[in-house]
């Protein structure tokens, strides 16, 4: 059975900045909104495709150092940018290692907690944008 194991080399790029060494998880949900078009005579609900509204949730370690996580994200709140990811940073954009991109994804918030003795982490969610895959 073929599976994909994510050991060490998945890559995440936010606004062309590589976050590979700060990211430890991401969740992508491709969503195309369902518009109901059920009519008289239908025995079940019927839907058609609406607008695409995908989300990408990124789990990152929080660093306030220069050119690290906070510096990458602080000026992106309330703006659109491009976000790309792949299962491996080695030779991305191929059939077996496709590069996924959300072009024009919106970052609404930059939430983080600070707790004594805890490793700083944050989760940012990019919403919307145009989804594309490079798998040449």
Partner 1 sequence: MKYTILSPRVGTPGDEYVPVDGVNIDALIAGGFIEQSTVKVPKGAKTKTDTNEE
Q: Are 82 and 68 in contact (CB under 8 A)?
A: no
Q: Is 69 helix (H, G, I), strand (E, B) or coil?
A: helix
Q: Does 104 bind partner 1 (CB under 8 A)?
A: yes
Query: Among 22, 25, 26, which residue's Cα sits nearest to residue 119?
Result: 22
Site string for partner 1, 29-48 (x = CB under 8 A): --------------------
Q: Interacting stretch for partner 1, rule CB under 8 A, among 10-18, 27-35, 56-64, 114-122? A: 10-18
Q: Which stretch binds partner 1 (CB under 8 A): 28-36, 42-50, 51-59, 78-86?
A: 78-86
For residue 21, the minimal CB distance to partner 1 (Å) is: 9
Residue 44: partners with Cβ closer than 8 Å, 6 or more residues away: 38
Does 9 bind partner 1 (CB under 8 A)? Our answer is no
Closer residue to partner 1 in complex, CB, 2/24: 24
Strand runs labelled E in the chain = 11-14, 17-18, 23-29, 32-36, 47-52, 55-61, 79-86, 99-107, 121-127, 130-134
Give me the residues that bind partner 1 (CB under 8 A), please. 15-19, 66-67, 71-72, 74-76, 79-82, 103-104
């Amino acid at each position: 059975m073929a599976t994909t194991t994510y050991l060490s080399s998945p890559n995440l790029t936010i606004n062309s900045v590589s976050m590979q060494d700060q990211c430890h998880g991401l969740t992508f949900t491709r969503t195309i909104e369902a518009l109901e078009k059920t009519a008289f005579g239908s025995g079940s609900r019927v839907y058609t495709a609406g607008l695409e509204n995908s989300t990408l949730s990124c789990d990152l370690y929080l660093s306030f150092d220069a050119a690290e996580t906070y510096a990458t994200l602080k000026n992106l709140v309330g703006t659109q940018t491009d976000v790309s990811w792949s299962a491996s940073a080695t030779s991305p954009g191929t059939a077996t290692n496709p590069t996924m991109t959300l072009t024009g994804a919106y970052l609404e918030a930059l939430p983080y907690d600070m707790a004594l003795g805890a490793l700083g982490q944050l989760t940012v969610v990019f919403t919307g944008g145009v989804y594309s895959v490079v798998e040449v």
